[in-house]
Amino acid sequence: MRKLGKIAIPIVGSAALLFGMTGTAFASATITSGGAPYTGDVLGTNLGNVTLAGNSFLGPIINTCTSASLGAYTKYDGTDGKLNSVSISGCTNNRHGTTTVTATGLPYIGGHVDHDPVSGGRDGKIVIDAPNSAVDVKAILDLPDWGLMGVECHYGLTTSTPLSIDVYNPSNSNKPEPSNPHGQGKLAGQSLQFISGDSVCPASASANGNFQIVTDPGGADLELGA
């Protein structure tokens, strides 16, 4: 008999979040910075908490992380995007424990950026292609309320449904955090699927969060256009 140790997967959600940000730099449209086409690294930094959640028979496990940053590369036309680094920290969960989220197997390659404006909403979207065998987000959960510590779950993109992140240009008044002057990304209810780990890990994880997106280094704004 083996200890159940893993019930939750919330961490996975966060990993997915990270993916989205990085993997695909902006493509399929034109990405500029300072009026010139931009090819290079970009940095996504969370605006407010990033949350990740997975289900269990005793209710959802919701992880709230106070810090998240994603380092990615993109070509000016949005192709060849790579997610090179992921850092998520300060995660606690609603079962009075902590959660550690780590993205392994980086860089994650695959995806594109579309200029796909929506009236009153986004300017485009980052799409992480799926399935993507490179994606492996590890979540280790301590769940004191349920007597479970060190539950390890791995999540990836195993279905044909891509992961999508809405992108807002700096001048878009409908961006998630209007008081932040930079371009932003919004991850809302995107899912990652269980790939390995404890038998009790949630089958899917959902991630939510807002990010500012700038060049790295330099911190200059990026613009997504047609």
Partner 1 sequence: MRISLRRRLAAGTAALTLAGSLLGAVAAAPAASADTLPDFDFSACPDLPADADPQFWQCNIAVTYGGTFKLGSIETTIESPITLVYANGFDPVTYEPKTVFGSFKASKFLVQPGLFGDPFVTAIYAQPKYAGGLNTDGGKLNLNLTVSVQNPLLGSRCSIGSSSAPIALQLGIGTTNPPPPNTPISGEPPVVVSTNPVVLKTTVVDNAFAVPRADKCGLDLGLENWLVNLYAGLPSAAGNNTAIFKQYASFKPYTELS
Give the interface with partner 1 as residue ranges (CB under 8 A).
1-4, 7, 51, 53, 55, 57-60, 62, 94-95, 144-148, 188-191, 193, 198-200, 203-204, 206, 208
Write down the least CB distance from residue 45 to partner 1, Å. 21
Which C-beta is closer to partner 1: that of 94 or that of 98?
Answer: 94
Write down the least CB distance from residue 127 to partner 1, Å. 18
Question: Which residues fall within 8 angstroms of residue 14, CB to CB, at 6 or more apart?
Answer: 50, 51, 52, 63, 65, 68, 88, 91, 101, 137, 139, 205, 207, 209
Write down the least CB distance from residue 126 to partner 1, Å. 18
Question: Which residues fall within 8 angstroms of residue 40, CB to CB, at 6 or more apart?
Answer: 73, 74, 215, 216
Q: Residue 61 is inside which H or E element, if any?
A: strand 61-74
Write down the least CB distance from residue 118 to partner 1, Å. 16
Which C-beta is closer to partner 1: that of 37 or that of 150?
Answer: 150
| Edge-first strand listing for the sheet containing 223-225 | 36-37, 30-33, 223-225
Which C-beta is closer to partner 1: that of 147 or that of 178?
Answer: 147
217 upstream amide cis, omega within 30 of 0: yes
Which C-beta is closer to partner 1: that of 188 or that of 226?
Answer: 188
